[in-house]
Chains A and B, each alone.
Chain A
Amino acid sequence: MYYREAGDFKTSYRADQQNFPIRFDRIHFWVMMVLAFGVVPFFINDYWANAVFVPFLIFAIATLGLNLLTGYCGQVSLGSAGFMAVGAYACYKLMTSFPDLNFFVVVLLSGGITAMVGTAFGLPSLRIKGFYLAVATLAAQFFLVWLFNKVPWFYNNSASGQISVPRREMLGIPITGPETAASTKYLICLIIVFVLGFVARNLTRGRIGRSWMAIRDMDFAAEIIGVDPLRAKLSAFAISSFYIGIAGALFFSVYLGAVEVGEAFGINNSFLILFMVIIGGLGSIYGSFAGAAFLILMPVLLKNVLVSGLGWPSDLAAHLEFMIMGALIIIFLIVEPHGLARLWAVTKQKLRLWPFPY
């Protein structure tokens, strides 16, 4: 009753090829966008921005990036947090070396630098695959974190070894630094997420995305039908790292403000992003958002229910969070390897017939 594609006729190629070919999806999407851009910024406060919205948006970018690599191209990476660190430090160096550069340009450039680093660490993927590759990407994780810890040039010789974001303004409104308003932080992230989500969606249904999926499904066959594995794999690493680098730059400059590399970009974050991809759905753009939202909201909810609601000590809640997260991963891998995205697709199938299933 609610979800109808009958009577939704296409009369041009353009209409047939658009991002959301079904009218219901289109309306749904634009309503969400109006809410996100037009309503939320007016009601957001510091708690909601810092606990839920901003980390959700930033991790959504990182999850999109890893999903392009793991979900679409089939190359598992455990070095995501390391690449986020590259983005963060690139952002810091650019902001301090070129104070007049526009913030969005800085973020894009940080993504570009991360893409180069990511491609370099993607080179082993040409010879090894599966979990050999997963372990090889751990090398990137440990090496990069060590590098940013040990070479003073990266943190401008600051005594604490931390990097902290300088204050920048755009149109007279502070966009980074401690005085930034919650709604500004949120909007910056939202705009970037919107653009990157759009690009990712269209990349994956175009030539590049199809060559990735061919490599993922069967690399021999893909090579025989003319997909160049070298280009496909390295482009997947480059674009994925570009996304993750941007996420890292925002994580540092907009969300945290000051960063100590081992804490903010440790291996636990790599796993967190991988979990978001698995729970959201391997090979799904929508799933990246769903997974990020789920894993950001779950600890907040647990904390509110257990610590504030029942008065349990917070370390208990933290242990339970670990258990629930691990159990969820296993359950999803067993029951629904395609994650929340598939659950949503199944729901849509049901909605088409509801309430008259025959």
Chain B
Amino acid sequence: MSPDFLYAIEVLLNGLMAGVMYSLVALGFVLIFKASGVFNYAQGVMALFAALTLVGIMNGQVPFSHLINAVFGTHLHDFGWQVPALAAIALTAVVMVFFAILVEKLILKYLIGQEPIILFMATIGLAYFMEGFGDLMWGADIKALDVGLPKGGSLWIEENTVWLAAEGERFFGFFIDKLDISATIVAIILVVALTLFSQYTATGRALRAVADDHQAAMSVGISLRAIWVITWSIAGFVALVAGIMWGSKSGVQFSLAFIVLKALPVLMLGGFTSIPGAIVGGLIIGMGEKLFEFFIGPLIGGATENWFAYVLALIFLVFRPQGLFGERIIERV
């Protein structure tokens, strides 16, 4: 096989892996949207917040140290201990549950029955608030996150794919980041776990009932507010996973909040209400933008990844507004 063709395949594979990362964020969206009809713009910031909290706990940072120092003139920085990764992840999950309860108690309770677009704007407000809050709590500097996941290119894959090109060609095997591979595995585990949870547990069934029909669910005695807390907690957990993956890949920093902007077109493509849609949409977007950048990018100046996903989703919307797997919206004006 010619090296050009093999490069294209490598780009494709890396695109698929990037797509998995997008799907991780999109998953959180779908969960919340199905259960509460809220289009949660804050999902990306939740991932950032979770990652910041995780790093902060692991390094034993004093929360709000910057603020405390400014007000009282002290020089606090950290407690001087290190927390092992697994314990820190568990603690962060607790924080995210706590956060879910707060969101329900302080925001959603008052906005029941409002139009979706009002709820959407409220989550933009929430995103802003959490962005400031996370930075205030843990500081805004870029932090390295290492929970012990393997990093760097996989030599094994490189060595075992060199034979694909003829002898003497400039091809050294596929370069695939180990982190991407673990992300894929984690994503698969997450989706399987979520599916099992929603199919075989009482709570999961209640979740699906709420997603189907709020009023019918309430009339058979399902507490809507409890369900919302549970969904936001699960979404918080998904955000934590996404935060760990993205944080290990590119450091925990402000720009992490912007992955939400990558997840939006994924949702438009896959449909807002479908978990498989989030996965397939993520894969298509990841693959599409890498291939587009590879083939067309050099012709028109590069850096097309910022907008390609949106334009693809936009074109898609015109022909199939409900997305690939979404529920059909029968509404014509």
**In the bound complex, CA of A128 to CA of B116 (Å):** 14
Q: Across the interface, do B136 and A316 meet the contact criterion of CB distance under 8 Å?
A: yes
**In the bound complex, CA of A320 to CA of B314 (Å):** 36
Q: Which residues of A contact B314 (CB under 8 A)?
A: 124, 136, 139
Q: Which residues of A contact B (CB under 8 A)?
A: 76, 124, 127-128, 130-132, 134-136, 138-139, 142-143, 145-146, 149-151, 219-220, 223, 229, 267, 271, 274-275, 278, 310, 312-313, 315-316, 318-330, 333-334, 337
Q: Which of B97-122 contact A (CB under 8 A)?
A: 107, 110-111, 114, 116-118, 120-122
Shortest 4 CB-CB contacts between residues of A and residues of B: A322-B132, A326-B129, A329-B125, A326-B128
Q: Which residues of B contact A275 (CB under 8 A)?
A: 125
Choose among B125, B128, B310 the residue that contacts A138 (Cβ–Cβ < 8 A).
Answer: B310
**In the bound complex, CA of A201 to CA of B129 (Å):** 33
**In the bound complex, CA of A153 to CA of B140 (Å):** 37
Q: Across the interface, do A130 and B70 meet the contact criterion of CB distance under 8 Å?
A: no
Q: Across the interface, do A135 and B117 meet the contact criterion of CB distance under 8 Å?
A: no
0/1 string, B33-65, CB within 8 A of A gives 1: 000000100000000000000000000000000
Q: Which residues of B contact A267 (CB under 8 A)?
A: 261
Smallest CB separation, B241 vs chain A (Å)? 23
Does B313 sit at the interface, judged by CB under 8 A? Answer: yes
Q: Across the interface, do A132 and B321 meet the contact criterion of CB distance under 8 Å?
A: yes
**In the bound complex, CA of A337 to CA of B67 (Å):** 32
Q: Across the interface, do A337 and B118 meet the contact criterion of CB distance under 8 Å?
A: yes
Q: Which residues of B contact A136 (CB under 8 A)?
A: 268, 310, 313-314, 317
Smallest CB separation, A306 vs chain B (Å)? 9
Q: List 27 A-B contacts (CB under 8 A).
A: A130-B116, A132-B321, A135-B264, A136-B313, A142-B261, A143-B310, A145-B306, A151-B301, A223-B333, A271-B124, A315-B140, A316-B70, A318-B132, A319-B133, A319-B135, A322-B129, A322-B131, A323-B136, A324-B132, A325-B132, A326-B126, A328-B125, A329-B121, A329-B128, A330-B107, A333-B111, A337-B118
Smallest CB separation, B304 vs chain A (Å)? 7
Q: Which residues of B contact A151 (CB under 8 A)?
A: 301
**Contact A321 B132, CB 8 Å, known A150-B303, A316-B67:** yes
- Give the size of the chain B interface in residues (CB under 8 angstroms): 48
Instruction: List 6 additional A-B contacts (Cβ < 8 Å) besides A316-B66, A326-B127, A333-B118.
Output: A142-B306, A318-B132, A319-B135, A322-B133, A334-B110, A337-B118
Choose among A134, A316, A320, A337 the residue that contacts B120 (Cβ–Cβ < 8 A).
Answer: A134
Question: B137's closest neighbor in chain A, by CB?
Answer: A319
Q: Which residues of B contact A (CB under 8 A)?
A: 39, 66-67, 70-71, 107, 110-111, 114, 116-118, 120-122, 124-133, 135-136, 140, 261, 264-265, 267-268, 300-304, 306-307, 310-311, 313-314, 317-318, 321, 333
Q: Which residues of A contact B111 (CB under 8 A)?
A: 333-334
Smallest CB separation, A274 vs chain B (Å)? 7
Smallest CB separation, A83 vs chain B (Å)? 15
**Contact A313 B66, CB 8 Å, known A128-B317, A135-B264, A330-B122:** yes
Q: Which residues of B contact A138 (CB under 8 A)?
A: 261, 264, 310
**Contact A219 B333, CB 8 Å, known A124-B314, A323-B136:** yes
Q: Which residues of A contact B117 (CB under 8 A)?
A: 76, 130-131, 134
Q: Across the interface, do B129 and A330 meet the contact criterion of CB distance under 8 Å?
A: yes
Q: Across the interface, do A229 and B333 meet the contact criterion of CB distance under 8 Å?
A: yes
Q: Across the interface, do A323 and B133 meet the contact criterion of CB distance under 8 Å?
A: yes
**Contact A146 B131, CB 8 Å, known A134-B120, A219-B333, A316-B136:** no
**In the bound complex, CA of A124 to CA of B315 (Å):** 9
Q: Which residues of B contact A274 (CB under 8 A)?
A: 121, 124
Smallest CB separation, B109 vs chain A (Å)? 9
**Contact A278 B121, CB 8 Å, known A139-B313, A330-B129:** yes
Q: Which residues of A contact B333 (CB under 8 A)?
A: 219-220, 223, 229
Q: Which residues of A contact B131 (CB under 8 A)?
A: 322, 326
**Contact A326 B317, CB 8 Å, known A146-B303, A316-B66:** no
**Contact A128 B311, CB 8 Å, known A312-B70, A320-B136:** no
Smallest CB separation, A163 vs chain B (Å)? 17
Q: Which residues of A contact B114 (CB under 8 A)?
A: 333, 337
**In the bound complex, CA of A49 to CA of B111 (Å):** 39
Q: Across the interface, do B128 and A325 meet the contact criterion of CB distance under 8 Å?
A: yes
Smallest CB separation, A8 vs chain B (Å)? 36
